[in-house]
Amino acid sequence: MTNTLNFLLAGVGGQGTILASDVLVNVGLAAGYQAKQAEVHGMSQRGGSVTSFVRWGKTVYSPLVGAGEVDVYLAFEVAEALRNLGQLRRGALAVVNMQAIKPVTVTSGGQPYPDDDRLRAKIAEVTDQAVYVDGERIAAALGNARAANVVLLGALSALIERSGLAPELTPDDWLRVIAGRVPAKYVELNRQAFGAGREAVGEGQQLS
């Protein structure tokens, strides 16, 4: 890596974005980079938006990433994917989870909620490097929808590998960090979820 790699994670409280960004910052550290993470979770327990930045690099100063400088986007939810889209640089990598969590302003307040076509069209205006994953469905098929965040991390790992942005990293680096972050009885489930996320974006190679 020549410079820094700037990640933005965006979702809704309770979706596992904070675990995902913990994994991401530790994967960076395990790969030998300096790594920092910053999140806002003050109100997230009450169903609010959650965003988190992760940065990897030879030298990382700021834990925050300025608007227009996001290289890699991990969006957990349709409306939040759009809400933070303006922060991406043109051509950024993006993994978008096709889950809709409608806020009360929609469910009982009558505000419109964006449809999938608008989401894809707007993301296409910014980058042609986006993949769309149905993390909940994939995780549920493995037996636990809560592993959706690890499905997304699997997809993200494949996308980063394909891009050549962090050539030092192997899937095992990710799996080791994930295994260290979840209870022992869920390690195998998360291994499968990670692998399924990679397959979902066309990276089916065997994990050791």
| Site residues, other proteins (CB under 8 A) | 12, 22, 25-26, 29-30, 34-49, 60-69, 79-80, 82-83, 85-86, 88-90, 102-109, 111-114, 118, 122, 125-126, 176-177, 180-181
Count of Cβ atoms closer than 10 Å to residue 147 Cβ:
28
Minimum distance, C-beta of residue 207 to other proteins, in the bound complex (Å)? 18
C-beta closer to other proteins: residue 168 or 202? 168
C-beta closer to other proteins: residue 88 or 153? 88
Q: With the C-alpha atoms ordered 192, 193, 199, 203, is the resulting torsion angle positive or negative?
A: negative
C-beta closer to other proteins: residue 34 or 170? 34
C-beta closer to other proteins: residue 46 or 185? 46
- Please list the residues that pair with 75 across neighbouring strands: 10, 96
C-beta closer to other proteins: residue 107 or 205? 107
Alpha-carbon span 72 to 2, nearest angstrom: 15
Alpha-carbon span 203 to 6, nearest angstrom: 23
Minimum distance, C-beta of residue 172 to other proteins, in the bound complex (Å)? 11
C-beta closer to other proteins: residue 65 or 193? 65
Q: Phi and psi of 97, rounded to 5°?
A: -85, 125
Minimum distance, C-beta of residue 199 to other proteins, in the bound complex (Å)? 26
Is residue 187 within a helix (H) or strand (E), and if so which, with residue range?
Answer: helix 187-200
Minimum distance, C-beta of residue 181 to other proteins, in the bound complex (Å)? 8
> What secondary structure letter does DSSP report for 206?
P
Nearest C-alpha neighbor of 198 from the set 150, 163, 166: 150
Q: Phi and psi of 89, rounded to 5°?
A: -80, 155
Minimum distance, C-beta of residue 144 to other proteins, in the bound complex (Å)? 14
Minimum distance, C-beta of residue 202 to other proteins, in the bound complex (Å)? 26
